Structure 1
Amino acid sequence: MRNTISNVPAGTIRKHRPVYQVALYVSLLLLLGLVVMYALGPQRANVMNFAYGTNYGDMFFFNKQLISVVISFAAFAACAIIPYKIFTEKYANWLFVGGLFFCFLLVALGMLGVSFAQETNGAYRWFYLGGLGSFQPAELLKFGILVFIAGFLGKRMRQGKINDVEETLIPLGITAAIAMFIVVVLQKDLGTGLALVAIVLSMLVVSGMRSDILWKILGVLLAAGVMLILIAPHRLERVMTFFQGDHSSASSMDSSSNTYHVQQARIAIGSGGILGLGIGKSVQVSGYLPEAINDSIFAIMGETFGFVGLLIILGLFTALLLGILHISARLPDPGLRLVAAGVFGWVASHVILNVAAMTGVAPLTGIPLPLLSYGGTSMLFIAAALGLVFQLSCYTSHKPLTEGKDSHADLSGRRRFGRTRYARGRRV
């Protein structure tokens, strides 16, 4: 007689130790951002006090960043501990709809002239909450679209309908179009739109969708991107600035121009040399480089730590991204595999677009550098997404799985690769 003691089905992945390197890289980046803010905070406070008549103390920006880091690490821990199905199944729809709602509400209130939803730098991006800081609903939308689209595509993968036009491509296109319309057209936030595209495209590539369909989707996105640039003067100006380079001498002297921004970023990176000027010795943060502690933090770090320091920072991001890919490739569940892939696209798009803009390789997009730039909302939701990946790393298999294949088929052929990550019924 056969009796199964374990209640876990044969071939089911058993929870094991997480990939602690993810938590390590996140902690190092957050700590590095704090160190830099401690050094730059007094200079930034002096600039703000002189320019706007504020009365910020030397520790104002550091203290705010410290609070953001603590809250973000708490979000990382929460998403690493709370069962992932709470995010990926139970509340995925609510997170996505909530993100859309608050983004639309921000635009509506901004157009009505409500004081806490004003337009800034040509875009509606933040709810201003007084002493509590600000909230950027587009970051909630990124997290929402991550878990919602991953669940939708994961279900279609299990059904073998990932390439189906009516049941997959049309609903996906409508969902993405609604999100992009609110973010890019109404909010005028192309940077967030690019991040959303990166999240969804990363999931589509990993889903095993046919290459010809992927190329068609990419073509549609490129055409839409060109149209969105042409109809928006501020976006067209950024693109023209990028192609003109240093030839426009008049705009290069205007501190509000994109040319000036890029030139000062290059000066900051170049003046850092090999080893940098040292902590607390930045010149560009003293009012020369726009958004010095936000979008331009990479350039300031180049000035402070030099070329070697930038290589170390990029090395940390590369190690983190490779770790996320490693986890995604070994997750048997299609939906969870897509969550990890989407987080990869999210973080990678921010790093690539920010660094490219600061080095003059791509136009300015207003995207911050993950975990390092000053500000709480972006850091909070990226940390939460990385915490979710950290939890998912507890459910990986030993070897990479075939893209687009059903998880049950993948599992059945891999039971021989040891018992540490597979629970099998024991016979007595």
Structure 2
Amino acid sequence: MLDRPLTSYYLVLGCSVMLLALGLTMVLSASSVKQLQETGSAYTLVQKQAMWMALGLPLMWAASRLPVKGFRALAFPMLLLSVGALALVLVPGLGRAAGGATRWISLGPLQIQPSEPAKLGLVLWGADLLARKEKLGQLTEWRPLLMPLLPGAGLLVLLVMLGNDLGTTLVLLTIFLALLWVVGAPARLFVGIAGLVALLVSILIVVEPYRMQRLTGFLDQSGNQLTFNYQGTQGLYALASGGLTGTGLGEGRAKWDFLPHAETDFIFAIIGEEFGLVGTLVVLGLFGLLTYAGLRIARRVKDPFTRLAAAGATAWLAVQAIVNIGAVISVLPITGIPLPLVSYGGSALIPTLIALGMLLAFAKREPGARQALAARGPGPLSRALSWLGLGPRGS
């Protein structure tokens, strides 16, 4: 089964749909109590999440049908838009702080987190840049390899750092390192850049008191359980109370004002409480299959841009899931980044869906995939249109 041409396509599509369905269900469960207290309706956040999903799914579908040259044409404009939007976050009156980081732009009732589409912008721009350099044979020395990729990625990282968003900084640096790895950067250069990244992250932690408190709390989890370690401790309690099969959907107790940010950063804890160990293993399995499919696409396609973009997007989603889940199970410090496709938030959901649509488009370019799609015949939408007399007529 795994050697079939469309394996990657169906894995990406199937895992995405199942994680989306799970996410919508768990956003309702995790947010219902708090929203009922604050707004009088238990459905406030799930309705917003459904609206974001309704906007994101057509964009995912459009991305899955976009040719490679379309993604390459969008690369530089998306990078410029990301830089401009991240700069607006730092403007007094526009940027809004939450959880120690300034991540949001307030536009009336609408709030946007520009650092999320910046991840997609870096993937596309970095892949396009390195693909052009590879075609020109300019990747044999470190200077043409890093210029202007390093300054461009550095500018995005700097703008995110100025907003004190360490979690997104880590993801952007991961995308940068993944692009270097896939393009075949010399081991000495890769190790040196990775060392600089580790040094930068260490400096970011040391210079910000609340990050140091989170780190020291992570290293000594037995103390400060009512202050710095409160969220992590409550997350572990939720996971532990779920047992093997969980308390049942909607029956969790952690969301009753015990666990902060249950619908965003710690939604995995609610999954563990209500679906137990079995539920958490299913989520891990879905992300594992999604990562496998993305790496399979990157390995099997022949076009350099497609290979780089697929690897960069896969690294982004996989590392973000690892960091989020690692924080919930207390093997990593809490950084405040969402679980892809599952956590509440449109700013994160829509770029993620576009990236998955891009992976679907690339999966169609694997060897034998086009022939398999053609042999499959018309899809259900085409058949429905033909029944209504609206489909394409035969010759």
TM-score (norm 2): 0.89
Secondary structure class of the residue paired with 2:22: helix
Partner AA of 2:226 in structure 1: M
* 2:111 pairs with 1:134: yes
Does 2:225 align with 1:252? yes
After TM superposition, list the pairs within 5 Å mapping 1:316-327 onto structure 2: 316-327=286-297
In structure 1, the residue matched to 2:335 is 365
1:213 paired residue number: 189
Output one character per residue of 1:149-195: Cα deviation in whole Å (capped at 9) or x when no partner.
001111222223224233222422222221111111x1111110111
Say if 2:168 is the partner of 1:203.
no
Change (3 A) 1:121 1:210: same
1:408 corresponds in structure 2 to none
Quote the residue 1:4 is aligned against.
none
> Structure 2: how far apart are the matches of 1:419 and 1:387?
20
What is the correspondence of 1:255-404 to structure 2 with a 5 Å cutoff?
A: 257=228, 259-397=229-367
Identity of aligned residues (%): 31
Confirm or deny: 8 A CA contact 1:163 1:169 kept in the other structure. no
In structure 2, relative to structure 1, the CA distance for the partners of 1:398 and 1:205 (3 Å cut) is farther
Query: Equivalent residue for 2:30?
Result: 40
Give the number of the structure whose alpha-carbon radius of gyration is greater. Answer: 1
Structure 1, unaligned stretches of length 5 or more? Answer: 1-14, 50-54, 400-417, 422-428
Pick the aligned partner of 2:78 from 95, 102, 113.
Answer: 95
Give the drift of 1:24.
Answer: 1.3
From the superposition, tell whether residues 208 and 266 of structure 1 become closer, same or farther in structure 2 (CA, over 3 Å): same
Corresponding residue of 2:392 = none
Letter in 2 for 1:35: T
User: What is the CA deviation profile of residues 66-122 of structure 1, one whole-angstrom value per residue up to 9, with x for unaligned ones?
Assistant: 11222221221121123332222x2211100110110011112xxx2x1x5222222
Distance 2:334 2:365 in 1: 39
* The one of 81, 90, 99 aligned to 1:107: 90
Amino acid corresponding to residue 84 of structure 2 in structure 1: F
TM, length-normalised to structure 1: 0.82
Alpha-carbon distance in 2 for matches of 1:77, 1:95: 19
- Compared with structure 1, are the counterparts of its residues 34 and 420 closer, same or farther at alpha carbon in structure 2 (3 Å cutoff)? closer
Distance verdict in 2 for CA 1:304–1:420, change over 3 Å: closer
Distance across 1 between alignment mates of 2:352 and 2:336: 16
Corresponding residue pairs, total: 369
Tell me the distance in 1 between the aligned counterparts of 2:40 and 2:23.
20
Contact 1:202-1:344 within 8 A present in 2 as well: no
Partner of 1:175: 152
Matches of 2:178 and 2:120 in 1, distance apart? 14
- In the alignment, residue 102 of structure 1 is paired with which amino acid? A
- Compared with structure 1, are the counterparts of its residues 180 and 279 closer, same or farther at alpha carbon in structure 2 (3 Å cutoff)? same
1:124 is matched with which residue?
A: 102
The corresponding residue for 2:379 is none
CA shift for structure 1 position 419 = 8.6
Q: RMSD of the alignment, in Å?
A: 2.1
In 2, Cα distance between equivalents of 1:216 and 1:398: 39
Deviations 1:326-377 (A, max 9, x none): 1110111111100000011110111100011001101011110000001111
Q: CA deviation at 1:226?
A: 1.2
Which runs of structure 1 show a deviation greater than 4 angstroms over 4 or more consecutive aligned residues? 15-18, 418-421
- How far apart, in 2, do the equivalents of 1:16 and 1:312 lie? 23
Supply the distance in 2 between the matched residues of 1:189 and 1:285 (Cα, whole angstroms). Answer: 25
CA distance in 2, matches of 1:142, 1:173: 15
